[in-house]
Amino acid sequence: MDALDEIQESVVVKNGNSNTHSSLFSDLRPLGPEGPFSLETQFIADSDSCKVNLIIGAYRNNQGQAWQPPSLVEAKKRIHVESCLHEYLPLHGSAEFLESSKLLVLGPEITNQAYDRIASIQTISGTGANSLIAKFLDNHTHPANIWLPDPTWVNHADIWKENAPGVDLRWYPYYDESSRSLSFSAMIQTLQRDTQENDAILLHACAHNPTGLDPTKEQWEEIALVCKEKKLFVIFDSAYQGFASGDLDHDAWAIRHFFTHPGLEFAICQSFSKNMSLYGERLGALHIVVSRKSSSPPTASVHGHLAEIQRACVSMAPLFGSRVANEIFKSEDLHLMWQADLLLMSNRIKTMRKAVYDELVRLQTPGNWDHVVHQTGMFSYTGLTEEQVGRLRKEHHVYMLPSGRASICGLTCANFKYTAQAIHSVITDTQKRQV
Ligand SMILES: Cc1ncc(COP(=O)(O)O)c(C=O)c1O
C-alpha cells in the first residue's frame, strides 16, 4: 500500500464508508438550480429570438445592453489607467472615498454635525457591508434577533445565517398580497409587540427589493419612533440611492430622518453597483452612526473593530471602483454628469413601467395593474404566481424570478408589447382553466 492509498484508507475508516473513491465532500447536500444566476444560465441557453430577460438587477439600455453611463466613461479617461499603481488600499479603504460617500448619503449638514460619531469603512459593495455589519453585531452587541422585511432581497437571510450564527432570523410583515401594497399596520404591530431591546432591524432605504414599495414620509416617522421606543439597532440597506427616483437627496430622506432622533444608532450599508454602474468592481461602504447622547462617542473603537473583522475576511476592499468614484465626486462637472445619468436611467425605467402598463390595460388583461406604475426602482413585484411565471418562461421565453419579481430594466421599446401580450395570454388562460 503506498502513502496515497493509506491516506484514502484512513479517510474511509474515519467516515465509516467502504467506497474507496469517497470524498470528504460526499455528504454535501446538492444544491438545486434555484436563484437568479441559474435562471440567467437558462436564459443564455434559450435560442428563441423573442426571449426577454427580466431576471437580473442590473441596468440595461433601450437596446437591452449593459451600458456605461457617460460620467463613468469620462471618469475612467481622467484616471489615466495605464499609469496607475495597484498598491493595497489602507485597511479602512480610500479615505477620500469614505468622506465623499458619507457626504452623499447623509448630506453636508449631518456629516458636519456628526463628524466624530460616524465610523466608516469601504466594503466589498453592498453585500460586503451587509455581511460586515452582521458579523460585527454578532461579535460585539449580541442582538437576540435580526428582523427582516417579508419579503426582502433574496440574499439577506443567507448573509445573516452565514455571518451571524448567534442571531435569530425573524420576519416583519411588509407586503400585503391582496392589495399589493405596503402592509404598514401589521409591520408596526409586529415591531411593537415582538421585538426586544437591542434587536437589529433591516430597512431598505429606498426602492425596496423586491416589492418596489417604500413607506411614505409619515410612515418613516412612525417607524423611527417605534425603533427608538423599542431600542432597536437599525440597519439601512441603501443599494439604490439616486437610481430609484433620479434624485440623490430624495432617496436618502429616510436615513437622514432617523438622524433627527439623537438616541438612535444606526448603520448604513451603501452600494455603488447600481447608481454608478460599477457592478463588478464591488464598491461599497458601511457607516455606523453612534448615538449623539453619549458624551464620549466610542467611534474609534467601532472603527477599529470593523477593520479587524474585515482584515480577517478579505483584508481590504478593492481599489479600482473607489478611484472611479473619487474622480466623479471631486469634479463638479462629472458630478453633474452623473446626476444626469441617474435621471436618464430612472426615467427609462419609469417609461417602461408605463409602457407595459398601458399595453396590459389596452389588452384588457384581467386584474388591476396599477401597482406596476406605482412601485419604484428597478423591480416590479408583478403579482404573477410561480406557476404563471413558469409558463411565461416555458411558453413565451419571458424570464423573471419565481416570486413574480420582474426587473423592469429588461424591457425595451422593442419587447414591451411582446411581454405584455405574453402576460395577457398566461393570465387569460389561467382564468379559462379556473372556470
Ligand atoms: C436590497 C439590496 N441590497 C444589497 C444589494 C447588494 O448589491 P451589491 O453587493 O452589488 O452592492 C442588492 C443587489 O441587488 C440589493 O438589491
Tens digit of each residue's pLDDT (9 = 90 or more) over 381-394: 999 999 999 999 99
Distance separating alpha carbons of residues 58 and 161, to the nearest angstrom: 25
Q: Is the CB of residue 57 below 6 angstroms from any atom belonging to ligand 1? A: yes
Give the residue among 263, 150, 149 at the shortest CA–CA distance from 200: 149
Domain ranges of the chain: 32-68+342-434, 88-330
- What is the atom index within ligand 1 of the atom nearest the CA of 284? 11
Distance separating alpha carbons of residues 344 and 339, to the nearest angstrom: 9
Q: DSSP letters along 384-418, please?
A: --HHHHHHHHHHH-EE--TTSEEEGGG--TTTHHH
**19-47, pLDDT tens digit by residue?**
556 899 988 888 765 567 789 999 999 99
Higher-pLDDT residue of 297, 329: 329
pLDDT confidence tier of residue 240, bands split at 50, 70 and 90: very high
The whole-number pLDDT of residue 30 equals 80
Asked if residue 122 lies in contact with residue 284, where contact means CB atoms within 8 angstroms, the answer is yes
Q: Is the CB of residue 204 below 6 angstroms from any atom belonging to ligand 1? A: yes
Task: Determine the average pLDDT of the residues in 337-356.
Answer: 97
Q: DSSP letters along 234-292, please?
A: EEEEES-TTTTTS-TTGGGHHHHHHHTSTT--EEEEEE-TTTTT-GGG-EEEEEEEPPT
Give percent above pLDDT 90 in the chain: 85
pLDDT confidence tier of residue 434, bands split at 50, 70 and 90: confident
Q: Is the CB of residue 153 below 6 angstroms from any atom belonging to ligand 1? A: yes
Report the separation in Å between the CA atom of 395 and the middle of ligand 1, taken as the mean of its atom positions. Answer: 30
Q: For residue 224, give Cα distances in angstroms to 83, 254, 267.
A: 48, 9, 14
Q: What is the mean pLDDT of the chain?
A: 93
pLDDT confidence tier of residue 93, bands split at 50, 70 and 90: very high
Is residue 1 over pLDDT 50?
A: no
Task: Determine the average pLDDT of the residues in 221-231.
Answer: 97
Asked if residue 318 lies in contact with residue 332, where contact means CB atoms within 8 angstroms, the answer is no
Is residue 12 over pLDDT 60?
A: no
Task: Determine the average pLDDT of the residues in 216-222.
Answer: 98
Task: Determine the average pLDDT of the residues in 371-387.
Answer: 95
Backbone angles phi, psi at 334, to 5 degrees: -70, -35
pLDDT confidence tier of residue 260, bands split at 50, 70 and 90: very high
> Which residues neighbour 279 within 8 Å (Cβ) at sequence distance 6 or greater?
58, 273
Q: DSSP letters along 27-83, please?
A: TSPPPPS-HHHHHHHHHHH---TT-EE--SSS---TTS-----HHHHHHHHHHTGGG
What is the DSSP secondary structure assignment for residue 90, as one 8-state letter?
P
The whole-number pLDDT of residue 424 equals 97
Enumerate the β-bridge partners of residue 238: 270
Report the separation in Å between the CA atom of 401 and the middle of ligand 1, taken as the mean of its atom positions. Answer: 16
Task: Determine the average pLDDT of the residues in 66-91.
Answer: 94
Distance separating alpha carbons of residues 121 and 69, to the nearest angstrom: 26
> Which residues neighbour 249 within 8 Å (Cβ) at sequence distance 6 or greater?
107
Q: Is the CB of residue 205 below 6 angstroms from any atom belonging to ligand 1? A: no
The whole-number pLDDT of residue 33 equals 59
Distance separating alpha carbons of residues 315 and 201, to the nearest angstrom: 27
The residue whose CB lies within 8 Å of the most ligand 1 atoms, and thus the one to mutate among 235, 271, 276, is 271
Query: What is the residue whose three cell numbers read 446626476?
Result: 339
Q: What is the CATH number of domain 88-330?
A: 3.40.640.10
At 183, the amino acid letter reads S
Annotation: CATH topology of 32-68+342-434: Aspartate Aminotransferase, domain 1 (3.90.1150)
Enumerate the β-bridge partners of residue 149: 172
Q: How far is CA 347 from the centre of its chain?
A: 20
The whole-number pLDDT of residue 32 equals 67
Is residue 356 over pLDDT 60?
A: yes
Give the residue among 421, 423, 434 at the shortest CA–CA distance from 388: 423
Task: Determine the average pLDDT of the residues in 142-161.
Answer: 97
Q: Is the CB of residue 149 below 6 angstroms from any atom belonging to ligand 1? A: no
Q: Is the CB of residue 127 below 6 angstroms from any atom belonging to ligand 1? A: yes
pLDDT confidence tier of residue 263, bands split at 50, 70 and 90: confident
Which residue's CA is the nearest one to ligand 1's atom 15? 239
The residue whose CB lies within 8 Å of the most ligand 1 atoms, and thus the one to mutate among 127, 159, 160, is 127
- What is the atom index within ligand 1 of the atom nearest the CA of 152? 1
Which residue's CA is the nearest one to ligand 1's atom 7? 126
